[in-house]
A and B are shown apart, each in its own frame.
Chain A
Amino acid sequence: DVKVTQSSRYLVKRTGEKVFLECVQDMDHENMFWYRQDPGLGLRLIYFSYDVKMKEKGDIPEGYSVSREKKERFSLILESASTNQTSMYLCASVRGTGYYGYTFGSGTRLTVV
């Protein structure tokens, strides 16, 4: 069964900490995405990547960065965590052409205290 795996289901971090959220997919997909989900706001795109070492800003990139050193792994980095980054973070991947559904990970619920 194809999979997108997020390293943690729940995470609690302190304000100011540097936080790494890891995502790994086993489907050889070119495209990977990071979303955050907040009640009433749906999913908002933070960053995405078309290929290794490629990255593009989504709608809400401020306070985040990403890394994609290998095709299967896409990391989201919170440079200095703040309480307004408390959220559910969802990673997804899809193959190239735009006519396939995304495969999502189970999500990481991050709480910044």
Chain B
Amino acid sequence: SQQGEEDPQALSIQEGENATMNCSYKTSINNLQWYRQNSGRGLVHLILIRSNEREKHSGRLRVTLDTSKKSSSLLITASRAADTASYFCAKMEYGNKLVFGAGTILRVKS
């Protein structure tokens, strides 16, 4: 089952612009996580936000969580060409099991 749904499916921006990706889910969560995947490689964990947190920062990344709307967003500020990748949100379910969405493909043009 895919509980995290990302929006948009693809995003193309210029270097220096901000990129925002959204994620919705259907059931209650323990925490929500964001991952990056460079082409054809494994996923890299970016940030984890717990269900009792509303916002979290890590470098140029900002994640928000709205549990009433069952949604989260990932903001990448001042994007760089190296940020080009696929980004996935994942909901933590019972038993330490992550359920991933289909992802957003981000392209940053230099």
CB distance from B63 to the nearest CB of A (A): 12
Q: Chain B: interface secondary structure?
A: strand
Most chain B CB within a 10 A radius of its CB, from A33, A59, A101? A101
> For residue B98, which residues in chain A have a CB less than 8 angstroms away from its CB?
33, 45, 102
**CA–CA, A45 and B90, complex, Å:** 12
- A25 at the binding interface (Cβ < 8 Å): no
Please tell me which stretch of A13-21, A36-44, A67-75 contacts chain B, meaning at least 4 of its Cβ atoms lie within 8 angstroms of it: A36-44
Query: Knowing A98-B30, A99-B31 touch, does A42 contact B2 (C-beta < 8 A)?
Result: yes
Say whether B31 contacts A43, CB under 8 Å: no
Q: Mark A90-113, 1 if CB is under 8 A from B, else 0.
A: 101010111111111111010000
- B44 at the binding interface (Cβ < 8 Å): yes
CB distance from B10 to the nearest CB of A (A): 12
**CA–CA, A102 and B97, complex, Å:** 10
- B59 at the binding interface (Cβ < 8 Å): no
- B68 at the binding interface (Cβ < 8 Å): no
Query: Knowing A94-B96, A96-B96 touch, does A102 contact B45 (C-beta < 8 A)?
Result: yes
Show the binding face of A for B, using Cβ within 8 Å: 4, 31, 33, 35, 40-45, 48, 50, 56, 58-59, 88, 90, 92, 94, 96-107, 109
